[in-house]
Amino acid sequence: MLWWIIFAVFFKLSLAVYCYNRFYPHGHALLIIHPWTGPFRYLLEWSFQYIRTHLHKDWEERPFNRLTRNWIERSSKKRNNYISFGSEMNPNEPGTILFTNSTFPILESEAQPFPGKIIGDGYCKNPYLARSLFNITGMSYGAMGKTAVEALAKGSTLAGIWMNTGEGGYAPVHDYASDVVFQIGTAKYGVRDDDGNFSIEKFRALAAKTNIKMFEIKLSQGAKPGSGGILPSVKVTKEVSEIRGIPEGVASISPNRHAEISDVESLMAFTKLLRDEGQKPVGIKMVLGGDNFLDHYFGRLRSKLDHAPDFITIDGTEAGTGAAPQSLADYVGLPLAQSLLILSNKLEEHKLRDRIKIVASGKLVMPDSVAWALCMGADFVVTGRGFSLSLGCIQAMKCASGKCPKGITTNDPKYTKALDPTLKSVRVSEYALNVIHEVETMAHSCGLKDPGEFERKHARIVTGFGKSKSLAEEFKPVVHQK
C-alpha cells in the first residue's frame, strides 16, 4: 500500500512539472522542449556555484586558486603553513617573480620588523605614523555585513593595522578599529547634506574622531573604473540607509566622478581643502589608464606641494568588488603590474617620491605578492579579498545577491547570525600577522634587515625556460625613501 502512495505522489508531481513546463508561458524554451529533464539543467547550474571550488586542480581556478585559499585559511586559524615534498608552483613559467636570496642571510638576532613610515609629515597638523606594511582596503558597510565589518575592525586593532571604511560611510562598528582611513566616494556617503552635496560640517565632525587617521578621495576603483559604487537595493537596509543618508530599499548608485572634481586644478584644490579642514593626511585612490594624466598632474604639483596628496592608492583592474559591470571589470583600466611601475617611476621623474607615499592595491593577498609590490616601489599594501577569505569566504561569487552563504557580504540575519565577530576578528588578525611575518622572513632571506629595504634588485622575473632578469634590469630601479 505504501508503495502505491509513493508512486501516486511521484506521478502527480511529475505530471504537474510536465504541465507547468510544457504549457505555462514562462519563456524558457529548454523547459518547453524538455519538460521533465530540463529542470535538472537549472538545478545543476545553481548547485555548481557552491561546489565549483572543489572541481579544480590546486593551482587552477580564478580569481584565487586553492593553494592561495588554503594558505589564508591555515594562517587565519594559526596553523602551520609548511609544505612537504616540494612546491606545486612552476618556477619556469614566464612572468613568475623569484626573490634573490643572499648567501649570508640576516640572523634572527639582527632582524628588525618594518619600522613604519610617516604620512603627511610637514603638511598637516596630525601626520600619521603607519606602522604596518599590510592593511585592510576599502570595503563599504552595506556591501559587507555588520558582523563582518565588526570582525574586520576588531581584527585590525588586534593586529595593529589600519582599516579603510570604503565609500559607504562611517558605521558605529568602525569604532572598534583603532586606526581608520575614511574614504570619500563620489556620493559623499557620511559627509553629504540632504541634497547629496559635500558637507564641510560633517567632514569636520569626522575629522575630530581620534581613530580616523587619514582621508582618502576615491576617484576610481580597479574593478569598475569610470563607474560609481553599486549597492543593490536588497542590501540597502534601514541601518545602511541611515548611515549613507539614502532611501531604504533603493539601489545605491554613486556618480561616476566627484561633482567638485573635473580637472587637475579642482582635484588639487579639494585635496588641500580636506587637509586644511581635517588637519590629517589626505590621499587619493585611482586606476591608471596611462601616464599622460600623471605627467600633467605631477607637473602642476611640483610648484604646489601643499596641494599634493599625502599618498596615492593605486588600484589594478584585477581588484575585487561587491558588484560591477563585467565589461569594466574585465577590460577597462591597467593591471597593477603596469600601473604600479608607471606611478613609482613618474614620482621619481617629477621628484615627488619624498612627498607622496604609494599604497598598492589589487589581488595582493599572499606574502610573495606583497614583497613584489614593495620591490616595485610601494610603501604599503592593502587588500580586501584576502581579509574576506580570512573571514571564511568560499569564493561563491554571490556578493551582490545579499545571500552570501558565509554571512560576509550580507546583512540578512539568516546568514549573518552564523558569523561570530569575536572569533573572526582573531582570524583577521592572525592572517595579517602571518603575511607580515613571512614578508619579513623573505626580506631577511634576501639579506635585508627589514622589508622597508626591498628594491627592484632583490627580485627577478622569469622571461622563459632557463631565463630571468633582475627587476632592476627589466625596469628602472627605484630607491625607497625612509
Burial per residue of 28-48, b for 16 or more beta-carbon CB atoms within 10 angstroms, e otherwise: eeebeeebeebbeeeeeeeee
Rounded to an integer, what distance in angstroms lies between the CA atom of residue 353 and that of residue 131?
Answer: 19
Q: Are residues 155 and 47 in the same domain?
A: no
List the 467-470 sheet strands across, edge first: 97-99, 459-464, 467-470
Query: Tell me, what's the pLDDT at 55?
Result: 60
State the 10-residue block means of pLDDT for the chain, 482 residues long.
74 76 64 68 64 58 76 88 74 90 91 94 96 95 90 97 95 97 94 90 97 96 69 80 83 84 96 97 94 93 96 86 67 86 95 97 94 97 94 78 80 81 94 97 96 95 91 71 48
Q: Give pLDDT, residue 482.
A: 47
Does 87 fall in a domain?
Answer: no
Alpha-carbon span 359 to 338, nearest angstrom? 14
User: Is 463 inside a domain boundary?
Assistant: no
Residue 385 domain-assigned (yes or no): yes
- 121 and 51 in a common domain: no
DSSP letters along 67-80, please?
Answer: HHHHHHHHHHTT--
Compute CA distances 109 → 105, 106, 113, 213, 326, whole Å: 11, 8, 12, 33, 50
**Domain's final residue, options 36, 55, 74:** 55
User: Does 124 lie in the same domain as 33?
Assistant: no
- Return phi, psi of residue 218, to 5°: -85, 110
pLDDT of residue 198: 94
**Three cell numbers at 285?**
585612490
Helices (H) and strands (E) in the chain, counts: 16, 15
Q: How far apart are CA 293 and CA 339, in angstroms?
A: 12
Is 71 domain-assigned? Answer: no
| Cell numbers describing residue 324 | 560591477
Residues 218, 122 share a domain:
yes
Alpha carbon of 458 to those of 20, 97, 173, 369, 376: distances in Å? Answer: 66, 10, 41, 13, 10
- Among 104, 285, 325, 305, smallest CA distance to 182 is for 285
pLDDT in tens, 380-435: 999 999 999 999 887 777 777 777 777 888 888 887 877 889 999 999 999 999 99
pLDDT of amino acid 41: 61
User: What value, to the nearest 5°, has the Cα angle with vertex 138 and ends 365 and 358?
Assistant: 70
| 481, part of any domain | no
Whether residues 399 and 325 fall in one domain:
yes
Assess whether 135 and 234 both reside in one domain: yes
Mark whether 273 and 392 lie in a shared domain. yes
CATH of the domain at 232: 3.20.20.70
Same domain, residue pair 48 and 197: no
Q: Is the domain of 282 the same as that of 382?
A: yes
Residue 228 within any structural domain of the chain: yes
Residue 82, in any domain of the structure: no
DSSP assignment letter at 480: P
* Residue in the structure block whose three cell numbers are 608607471: 342
3-state helix vs strand vs coil in the chain, percent to 5: 40, 15, 45
Q: 162 with 156: CB under 8 angstroms? A: yes
Query: 433 and 338, same structural domain?
Result: yes
Model confidence, pTM = 0.85
Q: Answer yes or no: do 157 and 16 share one domain.
A: no
Q: Which residue shows C-alpha cell 588639487?
A: 268
CA 401 – CA 467 distance, rounded (Å): 46
Q: What angle do CA 412, 418, 421 make, to 5 degrees?
A: 95
- Rounded CA-CA distance 455/451 in Å is 9
- Compute the distance between CA of residue 119 and CA of residue 417 in angstroms, rounded to an integer: 38
What is the tens place of the pLDDT at every residue in 335-350?
Answer: 999 999 999 999 999 9
- Nearest 5°: CA angle at 306, between 163 and 185? 40
Can you give the residue range of the structural domain that contains 335?
117-440
The H-or-E segment that residue 286 falls in is strand 282-286
Confidence (pLDDT) at 427? 95
How far apart, in whole angstroms, are the C-alpha atoms of residue 284 and residue 468? Answer: 35
Pairing mode, if any, of strands 128-130 and 117-119?
antiparallel
Look up residue 106 and give its DSSP letter.
P
Q: Which residues pair with 135 in a beta bridge?
A: 382
Query: Using an 8 Å Cβ cutoff, are 273 and 240 in contact?
Result: no
Same-domain status, 51 and 123: no
How many domains, the chain? 2
Query: C-alpha cell of 450?
Result: 627589514
Residues 215, 283 contacting (CB under 8 angstroms): yes
The answer as to whether 478 is a domain residue is: no
